[in-house]
Amino acid sequence: MTSLKSFNHILHSKSPLIVEIFDFISDHENQQLFEYIETKEFKESLVVGDEGDPAEHTNNERTSSSIYMNSFENNISEILSSRIADLNNAHVYQLSCLQMIRYEKGEKFTPHYDKFFTDDVSIIGNRGQRLASNLLYLNEDYIGGRLSFPKLDISIKPKKNSLVLFKYDGDGWEDTLHSSGRIIKGSKYAMLCLLYEASHEGKELPTTFNPDIEILTLT
């Protein structure tokens, strides 16, 4: 099982949990992701609407572009989905697809929450609430684009191949308001994978916790 003990990491916050994990992927795996990206066409990134408009749409608050990779689409997606599921002590079927994100000069994502505004499954669907975000960073040769949590006064310039995990399934979730700063020079490439309450395939879900994540949450 993938464990925090396997990686160098920085605990930025215990509640809510925000942890930066270094070298979550290898340079070879990074190269595989870029080779995949080169075969696809990026499209405008989407956001989830508010209570009156829950459908995904584009807006000027998120100006990046994205492509999507299914968890079982190829070898690298299977490896990363399994590793992320282990880290979150979750079933891979609880994960979203892998969203590859590109921010070019001038692009940004203003402060927002990844957690849904409601727990009503008639609005958010049978997968239920989002529990955590896993942000993997594929490069660092750009200026700007910091990951910031303004309510906690946390600002991170992620390293290449690092992953930032933050949870919003308990107390303090309101402090997970976060943003991706405007790119001043270069392009930033990242990958987002979300953890949901329920499986989209009706699979049996784990009932135990990743002890490392649980210890960080409770101590």
**CATH code, domain carrying 108:** 2.60.120.620
Q: In the prediction, which pLDDT does 215 show?
A: 37
3-class secondary structure, 180: strand
Using a 10 angstrom Cβ sphere, with 0-12 exposed, 13-18 middle and 19 or more buried, the burial of residue 20 is: buried
pLDDT digits (tens, 9 = 90+) for 114-159: 998 888 887 788 889 999 999 999 999 999 999 999 999 999 999 9
Confidence band for 53, pLDDT divided at 50, 70 and 90: very low
Q: In the prediction, which pLDDT does 200 show?
A: 63
Task: Give the containing element (helix H, strand E) for 135.
Answer: strand 130-137
Confidence band for 50, pLDDT divided at 50, 70 and 90: low
pLDDT of residue 51 exceeding 90: no
pLDDT of residue 30 exceeding 50: yes
Q: Compute the CA torsion angle 13, 19, 20, 26 (nearest 10 deg).
A: 170
Confidence band for 25, pLDDT divided at 50, 70 and 90: very high
Q: Which domain holds residue 110?
A: 4-218
**The token pair that represents 124 in the structure block:** 């958010």
pLDDT of residue 84 exceeding 50: yes
Arithmetic mean of pLDDT over the chain: 85
Residue whose pair of structure tokens reads 């925000």 in the numeric block: 18
3-class secondary structure, 102: strand
Q: How many CB atoms lie within 10 A of CB 127?
A: 16
Q: How far apart are CA 202 and CA 78, in angstroms?
A: 19
The one-letter amino acid at 21? I
Q: How many CB atoms lie within 10 A of CB 13?
A: 17
Residue whose pair of structure tokens reads 């402060």 in the numeric block: 111
Q: How far apart are CA 122 and CA 68, in angstroms?
A: 25
Higher pLDDT, 214 or 24: 24
Q: In the prediction, which pLDDT does 44 show?
A: 77
Average of per-residue pLDDT across 88-110? 94
> Cα separations (Å) of 151 from 53, 114, 180?
26, 15, 14
CA geometry: angle at 46 spanning 41 and 50, to 5°?
175
Contact 12, 175 (CB under 8 A): no
Residue whose pair of structure tokens reads 């989905």 in the numeric block: 81
Higher pLDDT, 15 or 3: 15
Total number of domains constituting the chain: 1
